[in-house]
A and B are shown apart, each in its own frame.
Chain A
Amino acid sequence: MRSHALRTIRIIFSTILFICFFLVFVDFRYIIPAKYINILLYLQFIPSAIKFYGLETLAAGGFLFIIALTVLTGRTYCSFLCPLGIGQDLFSRIGGRFKKKFRRYGYKKPYTIMRYALLAITLIFTMIWGLYMITLLDPYSIFGRFMTFFAKPVIILINNFLAGILGRFDIYTLNKITVKGFPLGVYSIPAAFFILVGVLSFTKGRLYCNAVCPVGTLFGLISKISILRIKFDEEACTRCGRCAVRCKSSCIDFLKPDVDVTRCVDCFNCINICQDNAISYGLVSFKKKVHETDENKRKIIIGSILLLFGLSRTSSAQEKTAPKPKKDSTVKENKTSPVCPPGGVSITAFNKDCTACALCINACPNRVLEPAFKQYGLVGMMQPVMNYHKSFCTYNCTVCTEICPTNALHPLVLEAKKLTQLGKAKFIKDNCIVKTEKTACGACSEACPTKAAHMIPYEGNLVIPEVTEDICIGCGHCEFACPTVPYKAIFVDGNPVHMAAKKPENEQSDIKKPVEFPF
């Protein structure tokens, strides 16, 4: 096929897909239903493979389809389905505006040792120790983190700006949302990757995909036996080299002429640029090197990096703290274990299957999930963890369990979730307002959906909290509501293995319907 339509189809398809992914991650109004998100994520290679490994059902077999697709068509996944890849195309397109079109890419030698070494290390590491390398390098998860850490705050700021303007006209269809920052430490990895992927794509097209990404390298290997690929008509080719400088993957050696299929991502740009109609995409027929170096516009990149760091600062600066009560609480919360999200079953099982794509962090309507820094140890860096100082887990919600693409969070029906004990509330009497200030409070018990936290008589007319642990589900609403600083008087200590909570019992009240006004 020599059709110019191939490139157009690729651009249209990938743009739509990219917009879908973008919307899923920045959907701060929680409009997109979980089932559509699941459809979109079905074909993501790594999440699907992990899910399949855990469930062994074809319902999670999207990755098999991708392997078949790669055998048939080469690395089309990288151009059509990978949100990180499409994002890089967008970046290199912008990069192209800053550079004379004709001298951008050009054939380069593959980073053979580096890419195969990275793939091998990732595979071996994963087999022996678990998903940590994959968490770092899965392109979908990297994309998810970029959206979560950098894109979503910008979108929320824009929303707040618009909501402010609309509010002046008495229109409340948009509402302002507090921008929530994460602990600064967790920005390090996404920021480093953003710089790496950003700079490489801005200046060198798909170099990240061809030198670092283990998924890209794996597909490159599979592509060696692909049936459809880019071909040259050597008779017609005039060795003009236009294709080589247009190739984002720098994989066309126009002097031979030949395409390195392990690096070609089937973007079809070369077909369109060729004036001799010598390049086509079709059934395999059998047949390889020159150097060029680029300089780049550093200012823009440094500027954008500064912006990103600045953003994380501004977002954390917006977290306004409440006026403090007179006395600081004195007893430190003794958390023996972090609280892992519902459906995680146990911290170890959860850590094993999560690739830290941050989808659940974005989907949580209460924004209680945040990327872990040290809570799970090094193994769970960036994986979602409950932060009950900032928010709490909504009683009537199962969203995170429904959308997890790797099944690290198992789906829970609402009734099951309401009885899943993520942790247990612990009361620290010496921090409690009722004891320290001798005034009424009850914020924790007010918030408790099961009344595991309830009030019992104290001095005089005062009542003080008490916790019935077996009906506590560890939702953290008590901890969130507790007004003491810096330490809370009630906190949730995570269950390393989630347990079943008892259903709260309730009896009909003695109070009867009045027949006369009691006043």
Chain B
Amino acid sequence: MKRRDFIKTSAGAGLAAGAALSLGGYSQLWASEPTTSKYDMVAVMGGEPDAMFDLGIQELGGMGTYIQKGQKVLIKPNIGWDVIPELAANTNPLLVKRIIEHCFKAGAKEVYVFDHTCDNWVNCYKNSGIEKAAKSAGAKVVPANSESYYHQIEIPGGIKLQKAKVHQLLLETDVFINVPVLKNHNSTRMTCCLKNNMGIVWDRGYWHSNNLNQCIADYALYEKKPALNVIDCYNVMVKHGPQGVSKEDVVQMKSQILTTDWVAGDAAAARMLGVEINTVEYIPMAHKMGLGNMNLDALNIKRIKM
């Protein structure tokens, strides 16, 4: 049943995409009806961040697959650093904007964007270009700079992390879309889907001092999981991460990975970065805890080159 579905829908989608491409633009994709296509992962290469997302989400059946009319959506990009978009320390603002537009098109009542930043939050929101991009698409850009925005939650089964304080909007929204940017990380080797959660919680210091890798894996146990992960690999910081020093740290990979499985997403991202998956310790940890599948060979991946 699944295989049959897959063949049907992929053929259909392929035709649609091909037709759209031959018509000389992706706007048709944007306008076309959602299908019921289900891959474990869609990887897109060769386009601009917004166009790649249009294509990728189409393969997954459109944003309507994940959002029902009237729902509140949280989009959590990485806005951690006071750095311009070209240096790729933060998620690409164009991508964030496009995702928000898709959310509203799918009938979202409200879309929220925040990150618990590392640098001064006002500067991060502004200089990343994300605040402007998100607001222009109609989203609410919400502060996350004070502990009073955070609420205590329990993480049953966590080995090192049993409690955390998460931003109230994670609790108040219906759908959570994780939009990390792929980057090198000085200590964990890579930051992507799972590590992006560190911008949802208040007390990161606790993670750092209590087995960072285990805490990252433990947090993924928490019940509020992302409906979708959109990994920004357009500009990828391949060294000096997660903040970067200059443009020499960035390689333009013009890629994007969409997946519902964030462990798989991180595994694919590690490959993009040229890092051995097992050296990014939280990936095998999360895999063993049953939080996702890091064996990419076992997954149904749709690869698209634009």
Contact = CB atoms under 8 A, between A and B. Distances in A.
A164 B252 CA distance: 42
Residue picked from A320, A396, A440, A481, most chain B C-beta under 10 Å:
A440
Given A451-B240, A484-B209, A442 B146 contact: no
Contact of A513 (B43, B185, B243, B254): B254
Interface string A483-519: 1100000000000000000001011110111100111
Residue picked from B205, B273, B303, most chain A C-beta under 10 Å:
B205
Nearest to B240: A451
A13 interface: no
Interface stretch (A73-81, A170-178, A336-344): A170-178
A394 interface: yes
> Secondary structure at chain A's binding surface: helix, strand, loop or mixed?
loop
A508 B273 CA distance: 15
Contact of A455 (B140, B186, B214): B186
B145 A175 contact: yes
Given A365-B123, A394-B82, A506-B245, 20 more contacts: A30-B122, A170-B110, A325-B206, A395-B82, A396-B82, A440-B281, A443-B208, A445-B186, A445-B187, A447-B243, A448-B243, A454-B186, A481-B208, A483-B206, A504-B245, A506-B249, A507-B248, A509-B239, A513-B253, A519-B296
Given A172-B143, A439-B213, A366 B187 contact: no
B73 to A, nearest CB: 13
B123 A511 contact: no
Interface in A275-326: 320, 322-326
B249 A509 contact: yes
B246 A433 contact: no
A449 interface: yes
Given A175-B143, A176-B146, A394-B120, A446 B187 contact: yes
Contacts, number: 153
Interface residues of A, number: 54
B3 interface: no
A443 B110 CA distance: 34
B268 A506 contact: no
Contacts of A483: 205-206, 208-209
Nearest to A450: B245
B286 interface: no
B205 A439 contact: no
Given A463-B187, A511-B274, A396 B127 contact: yes
Interface residues of B, number: 59
A269 interface: no
B185 A442 contact: yes
> Secondary structure at chain B's binding surface: helix, strand, loop or mixed?
mixed
A164 B143 CA distance: 12
Given A170-B140, A394-B82, A519-B301, A514 B255 contact: yes
A437 interface: yes
A506 B186 contact: no
A57 interface: no
A256 B104 CA distance: 81
B52 to A, nearest CB: 13
Contact of B209 (A160, A394, A433, A519): A433
A513 B251 contact: yes
A441 interface: yes
